[in-house]
Amino acid sequence: MDVSRIEAISPKQIDWRKLTAPEIIEYKEQGIDVPSQYLQWAQGFLADVNAADTDETTYEAANSQTTTPAAESAATTTVAEGEEGVEVQEEPKTEAQAKREDMEQGGASLSEIAKTFIGESVSARGETLESAALMSATARQSDNEIQSLDNHMKELLAKAEQIQSELKNEVDSVNDGENDPSAIAKINRLNAQLQRMGTEGQANVAGVEGDLNVYESTISSQSSIILNAQDFGTETIGVGQDLLASIRGHFLFNLRDFVLGHRAERTGERAVDVSEIATEVQNDASNRNSDNLSKAQDYKTQIEAKTGVAGIDVNKENEENKNDPANPENQTKDAASADLDQILKAKIRKGENVGNDQLS
């Protein structure tokens, strides 16, 4: 790149990774705001009289074993030769990348950025551990609820089958020409019993189905927390690597940054690891709850076959009432969902057993 034409180029049009140390210093001398990690590298490189590299070595070549800063890489817009002034569309930045870029533009050093991102990763890791415990506990709640429904349905369906058999016998007797008035009365009574049992059973299934839908909402809503740990963990690793690269060959004179860089790498890696564990917990919890939801919906068919009472379409009812904020049932469901989250999180904070064995 022609440094002499610097006035026509903004800092965001410069791919700093492709520049040699003398070129970076020249940009600095021309009054261009050079990102701190590249300036530190250039100054250290030129000051190291024992360096085996030549002045033609670029930042990218010197740091080929390290990760290029994610935020800087995403924000950089390169300009091909002969196309100066033509901007390339930037890739969207993650929250962590945007935060790092803001700090760099504010003049923060790599050391300051590393300290901030270490704190962000620790916080994100803690939130993700709590989120994973919440999802595991929710899955256990789902299993317990379907088990309770199983027990109730076995008893209800067995009794319904018995009444259905009695009803068939009474109907057969009437069809055979027996005009016993008591048989007609018994048929009516048995039909009424099946109707009551069917209504009760379908209502129970609908209640469980509604709870399982709430559980699914709780599980899926944790995705943003998991992604946040992945995002800040990954960026913290990059910050640590860049900090170590900036003191390469001079770490004996920068022991504090040397320790800080390695700490940032380890902290970021732990946040990423926890996000991956939480993703597995989320998938498992969602699958278990989906299986339980299928079982609940299957009971609708069985109840209708035994009693003639059709199942309640919970999703349809919710769709019809979702725009009615005054609907007491919706308010109750919203409150139940919020209460579930708060109760489980409170147990987690108290250290009570909520099924988070996978996180040990």
The pLDDT value given to residue 313: 78
Position 244 in a domain: no
Distance CA 259, CA 89 (A): 37
Q: How much is the pLDDT for 3?
A: 46
Give me the pLDDT at residue 360, please: 35
Residue 180 shares a structural domain with residue 301? yes
End-of-domain residue from the set 47, 62, 95? 95
End-to-end CA distance of the chain: 53
- The verdict on 215 and 332 lying in the same domain is yes
Q: Return d(Cα 97, Cα 11) in angstroms, integer.
A: 18
What is the pLDDT at residue 76? 44
Q: Which amino acid is at 102?
A: D
User: Are 70 and 130 in the same domain?
Assistant: no
What are the DSSP calls for 168-217, one per residue? HHHHHHHHTT---HHHHHHHHHHHHHHHHHHHHHHHHHHHHHHHHHHHHH
pTM over 0.75: no
Considering 32-46, 248-262, 311-325, the range whose residues carry the highest mean pLDDT is: 248-262
User: Do 189 and 290 belong to one domain?
Assistant: yes
Band (pLDDT 50/70/90 cuts) for residue 286 is: very high
In the predicted structure, residue 107 carries a pLDDT above the cut 70: yes
Is-contact 67 243, C-beta < 8 A?
no
Strand partners for 58: 20
Average pLDDT, the chain: 78
* Same-domain pairing of 299 and 174: yes
For position 70, what pLDDT does the model report?
41
Contacts of 301 (CB under 8 A, 6+ apart): 311
User: DSSP H helical segments within the chain, as ranges?
Assistant: 21-29, 36-47, 59-62, 70-75, 95-105, 110-175, 181-220, 223-246, 255-307, 314-321, 328-350
DSSP string, 94-121: PHHHHHHHHHHHTT--HHHHHHHHHHHH
Highest mean pLDDT among 93-107, 163-177, 239-253, 309-323: 93-107
Q: What is the mean pLDDT of residues 201-212?
A: 93
Q: How many CA atoms lie within 13 A of 227 on its CB side?
A: 7
The average pLDDT across 186-202 equals 89
Percent residues over pLDDT 70 in the chain: 68
Spatial separation of the C-alpha atoms in residues 106 and 71, rounded to whole Å:
14
Structural domain range at position 35: 3-78+90-95
Residue 46 lies in a domain: yes
**What would the pLDDT profile of 145-157 be if each residue is shown by its tens digit?**
999 999 999 999 9
Q: Could you tell me the pLDDT band of residue 359, with boundaries at 50, 70 and 90?
A: very low
Residue 248 located in a structural domain: no
Q: Residue 73 pLDDT more than 50? A: no
CA distance 337 to 321: 17
- Split into its structural domains, the chain has a count of 2
Q: In the prediction, which pLDDT does 94 show?
A: 92
